[in-house]
């Protein structure tokens, strides 16, 4: 009787603990769309809140913004220019410029419009990851993967989702290409989308798309899919992958000959991979340090989840489709990381395309740990009763939940802290130009600066007042007495303005902008 009572009590405890463990996972499963909407709201806040309030950044963002603006003004959407001269420093194809130009058309000539395309591309990437993971691994995994990507600070904040660089759009096309590739083993039509997305990735960030080609080639070879393709399927894939690129190359060649492509190969490919350009140096551990700095919490969860997954894994056959998907995800992580580690020029945002892959893997493994092992019998607890095995499962899954929260919450807090304080990156000259640009009598015409223009300042001049930036001496300006003159706000320059009968049209503590008397 005592033994029967003990067995009954053990079963009762086991059922209660089982229910507690399953309830956490089932909550997300049963309320998937409610949870999805909440995540979407978080994503919209992370991506769009104060999007246009931050000052324009020098280098890539400003450079791309200038080219897009000047494409609209000139009507030439094939050749990118900088200060209305052909640009052979920024050797990227035009899709990133087109995306910014589309943002300008929607939201106006301002930082919000400039960054709109990047934010939308990031949102589409998050949704694509969520859709793929739901299709492959279920509702809970989908929510976990989306959370991991939404709360990745480097992807959201730096040189990607909230900036008008090419990277957010490139990551979207990269992600779309690989996700479609992973789906093509079952339905060949996805292969055509994979190839087309590759072409768009190349037309966004040029040789960076080589990683996609290497991943695709290795995947097709290692899965044996390459040998099962019919000639029609292979031809269609190659056409989708190369057709758009060849069409753009033909148009570019017709406009300015081979110069752009010569520079594109010699500088943007060969020099960038063989020598550390523009001071961007780093050793073989460079990108490990980047992950440690931006992503160590999610990596900790991934490591712990992987260990628990292996410990609790049931002995069941692995489907070929599951094996091939795991191979593709592995290649997605390793190939870009390895190739960019080999390249001599190292920049921290080069590895941005691996973050969606991390998100997929984190979601899949974490969901498996939380959901799939309700009847697990842990080997080293054999003979100690069902309740002991269930207690062990509850402990392990609780650790995984804690690690997930340990990752998502602090990273989200870091993102929110940053986006709430655009004044921390305020640029006084950009603010001055924005204020002056609201006065229509001073818009347009040349704006002269005595020294070289910062790229962000040149773009601000174009966006806020449609001014043409130029650099000449004071003597040359005083002979012409045309347009606006930018000077540092100090006593010497104030005396110069008074002496030469100029008048100050705008000023702050750092700068003053003067015009000839009588010019409005």
Q: Which residues pair with 82 in a beta bridge?
A: 85
261-306 pLDDT, tens per residue? 999 998 878 877 777 766 566 778 899 999 999 999 999 999 988 8
Average pLDDT of 188-205? 96
417-431 pLDDT, tens per residue? 999 999 888 899 999
Q: At what angle do helices 2-30 and 386-419 cross, to 10 degrees?
A: 30
Place of tokens 């998100």: 359
Domains of the chain: 2-422 (no CATH), 428-516 (3.40.190)
Q: pLDDT exceeding 70 applies to what percent of the chain? A: 87
Q: What are phi and psi of 501, to 5 degrees?
A: 55, 45
Place of tokens 């900790």: 300
Least confident among 138-142, 311-315, 459-463: 311-315
7: pLDDT strictly greater than 60: no
397: pLDDT strictly greater than 90: no
Instruction: Give me the pLDDT at residue 6, please.
Output: 41
Instruction: Give me the pLDDT at residue 281, please.
Output: 67
Instruction: Give me the pLDDT at residue 25, please.
Output: 53
Average pLDDT of 165-192? 96
Contacts of 69-76 with CB under 8 Å at 24 or more apart are 69/101, 69/104, 69/109, 69/459, 69/462, 69/463, 70/462, 71/97, 71/98, 71/101, 72/101, 72/104, 72/105, 76/255
Q: Which residues pair with 512 in a beta bridge?
A: 487, 507
Give 21's pLDDT tier (boundaries 50, 70, 90). Answer: very low
Count H helices and E strands in the chain, helices first. 21, 7
How much is the mean pLDDT over the chain? 88
Give 437's pLDDT tier (boundaries 50, 70, 90). Answer: very high
Give 314's pLDDT tier (boundaries 50, 70, 90). Answer: low
Give 356's pLDDT tier (boundaries 50, 70, 90). Answer: very high
- pTM of the predicted model as reported, rounded to 2 decimal places: 0.91
15: pLDDT strictly greater than 70: no
313: pLDDT strictly greater than 80: no
What b-and-e string marks burial along 199-209, b requiring 16 or more CB atoms within 10 Å of the CB? bbbbbbbbbbb
Instruction: Give me the pLDDT at residue 150, please.
Output: 98
Cβ neighbours around 30 below 10 Å, total: 11
In whole angstroms, give the CA distance from residue 111 to residue 104. Answer: 9
Give the contacts of 444 (CB within 8 A, at least 6 positions apart): 465, 466, 467
11: pLDDT strictly greater than 70: no
> In 3D, which of 361, 362, 212, 358 has the Cα closest to residue 291?
358
Average pLDDT of 317-321? 59
Of 19 and 221, which is predicted with more confidence?
A: 221
Average pLDDT of 113-139? 97
H or E stretch including 430? helix 428-437
H or E stretch including 64? helix 60-74
In whole angstroms, give the CA distance from residue 242 to residue 209. Answer: 12
In whole angstroms, give the CA distance from residue 164 to residue 100. Answer: 7
Burial class for 451, CB neighbours closer than 10 Å (0-12, 13-18, 19+): exposed
Instruction: Give me the pLDDT at residue 399, please.
Output: 84
How many residues does the structure list for the chain?
520
Cα angle: 245, vertex 251, 255; to 5 degrees: 140
Instruction: Give me the pLDDT at residue 490, please.
Output: 94
Q: In which region does residue 506 sit, left (phi positive, over 0), alpha (psi from -120 to 50) or beta (all else)?
A: beta
Least confident among 121-130, 392-401, 445-454: 392-401
Q: Which residues pair with 300 in a beta bridge?
A: none
Q: What is the dihedral of CA 142, 147, 149, 153, to 10 degrees?
A: 180
H or E stretch including 61? helix 60-74
453-476 pLDDT, tens per residue? 999 999 999 999 999 999 999 999
> In 3D, which of 174, 161, 236 has the Cα closest to residue 203?
174
Least confident among 11-20, 490-499, 500-509: 11-20
Tokens of 306: 């992987």
Q: What is the CA radius of gyration of the chain?
A: 28
Distance set, CA 251 to CA 76, 93, 254, 499 (Å): 11, 11, 5, 53
Of 72 and 187, which is predicted with more confidence?
A: 72
Give 256's pLDDT tier (boundaries 50, 70, 90). Answer: confident
In whole angstroms, give the CA distance from residue 146 to residue 130. Answer: 5
374: pLDDT strictly greater than 80: no
């Amino acid at each position: 009787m005592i033994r029967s009572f003990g067995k009954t009590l053990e079963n009762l405890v086991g059922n209660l603990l089982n229910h507690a463990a399953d309830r956490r996972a089932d909550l997300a499963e049963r309320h998937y769309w409610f949870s999805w909407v909440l995540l979407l709201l978080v994503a919209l806040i992370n991506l769009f809140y104060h999007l246009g309030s931050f000052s324009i950044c020098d280098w890539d963002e400003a450079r791309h913004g200038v080219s897009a603006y000047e494409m609209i003004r000139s009507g030439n959407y094939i050749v990118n220019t900088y200060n209305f001269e052909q640009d052979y420093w920024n050797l990227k194809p035009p899709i990133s410029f087109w995306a910014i130009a589309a943002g300008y058309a929607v939201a106006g000539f301002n930082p919000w419009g400039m960054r709109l395309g990047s934010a939308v591309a990031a949102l589409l990437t998050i949704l694509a990851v969520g859709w793929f993971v739901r299709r492959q691994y279920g509702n809970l995994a989908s929510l976990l993967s989306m959370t991991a990507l939404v709360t990745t600070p480097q992807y959201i904040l730096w040189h990607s989702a909230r900036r008008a660089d090419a990277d957010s759009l490139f990551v979207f096309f990269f992600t779309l290409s690989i996700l479609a590739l992973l789906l093509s083993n079952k339905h060949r039509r996805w292969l055509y989308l994979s190839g087309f997305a590759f072409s768009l990735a190349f037309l966004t960030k040029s040789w960076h798309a080589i990683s996609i080609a290497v991943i695709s080639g290795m995947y097709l070879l290692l899965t044996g899919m390459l040998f099962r393709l019919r000639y029609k399927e292979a031809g269609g894939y190659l056409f989708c992958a190369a057709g758009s690129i060849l069409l753009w190359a033909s148009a570019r060649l017709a406009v300015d000959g081979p110069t752009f492509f010569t520079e594109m190969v010699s500088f943007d490919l060969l020099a960038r991979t063989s020598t550390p350009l523009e001071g961007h140096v780093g050793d073989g551990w460079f990108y490990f340090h980047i992950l440690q700095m931006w992503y160590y919490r999610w990596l900790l969860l991934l490591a712990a989840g992987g260990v628990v997954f292996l410990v609790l894994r049931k002995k069941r056959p692995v489907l070929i489709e599951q094996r091939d998907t795991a191979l593709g995800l592995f290649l997605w992580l390793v190939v870009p990381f390895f190739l960019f580690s080999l390249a001599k020029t190292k920049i921290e945002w080069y590895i941005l395309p691996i973050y969606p892959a991390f998100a997929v893997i984190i979601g899949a493994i974490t969901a498996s740990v939380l959901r799939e092992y309700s009847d697990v019998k842990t080997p080293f607890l054999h003979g100690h009763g069902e309740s002991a095995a269930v207690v062990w499962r509850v402990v392990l899954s609780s650790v995984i939940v804690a690690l997930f929260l340990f990752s998502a919450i602090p990273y989200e807090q870091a993102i929110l802290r940053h986006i709430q304080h655009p004044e921390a990156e305020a640029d006084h000259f950009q603010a001055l130009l924005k204020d002056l640009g609201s006065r229509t009598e001073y818009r347009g015409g040349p704006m002269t600066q005595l020294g070289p223009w910062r790229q962000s300042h040149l773009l601000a001049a174009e966006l806020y007042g449609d001014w043409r930036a130029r650099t000449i001496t004071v003597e040359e300006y005083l002979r012409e007495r045309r347009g606006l003159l930018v000077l540092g706000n100090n006593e010497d320059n104030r005396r110069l303005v008074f002496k030469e009968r100029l008048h100050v049209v705008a000023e702050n503590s750092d700068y003053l902008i003067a015009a000839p008397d009588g010019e409005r």
